[in-house]
Copies of this chain bind each other. A is one copy, B any other.
Amino acid sequence: MRNLLMTVCYDGTSYYGFQTQPGGNTIQDCLEAAIRHLTGEVVKIHGSGRTDAGVHARAQPFHFITSSQIPVERWCLALNARLPADIRVTAAEEVELDFHARRSAKRKTYRYTINANRVPDVFQRNYQLHHPGRLNISAMQKGLSYLIGTNDYTSFASRHSTKASHVRTIDEARIEVDTSLARPESRDQGVVHLYISGNGFLQHMVRIIVGTLLEVGQGKRLPEEMKQILEAKDRKAAGPTAESKGLMLWSVEYD
């Protein structure tokens, strides 16, 4: 028996998230079907975590136990030949039997992308939230800074969260603005990437943070309110959940 750790990249537009669900059509279903097709084995893969319907992943790790003797360097090509074009395995390695893609994860980074140009980018339309109205980016940066640290993030978690504790640590959060496609004569603000890293994220957490920060950017809230929202420990205190299509699981780190 071997424990294989792989990394998958996917365009989540057509899927109900990573993890298998009664309704089917998830990334996990596609990966397990490809492994079954390749090896004949019925395996259960373990992702680094869930992603919501419509959320993308640049690099999501998963592991599974296999008795297959296929050399590790052959797996990417062999699985990719059996996967739809919007899912690709980008790396594979053998790890210790006690390694677990979710439980062993130390740090995760998500990226949320907002296109703040007047006209949306047709080539990125499934990967960006389009927000043509003026955004106060420095207010958003200031608001975001209040979320760094170890906090109870109940206000930024789905009401349906089933976790016993909502305490998590966000150790880094930053906003980068790419103005390469912005046309100043059109009041274009560029493409805003929000990167957020921490030891774990609650259901909808990044999307609620972004939905709330957009209200800060629109001038509907002051940046300082982010601190009060955290302290309220009440989902009602925060803003709406931003659309899933702008969210991408960027990376997962292990020791």
Contact = CB atoms under 8 A, between A and B. Distances in A.
A119 B76 CA distance: 8
A138 to B, nearest CB: 27
Contacts of A88: 119-120, 122
Contacts of A118: 76
A90 interface: yes
A90 B85 CA distance: 29
A56 interface: yes
Interface of A: 9-11, 56, 76, 80, 85-90, 118-123, 125, 127
A10 B122 contact: yes
Contact of A119 (B80, B86, B123, B125): B80
A11 B121 CA distance: 10
Centre residue among A9, A90, A122 by max chain B CB count within 10 A: A122
The 8 closest A-B pairs by CB, nearest first: A11-B122, A90-B119, A88-B119, A85-B125, A88-B122, A86-B122, A9-B122, A11-B123
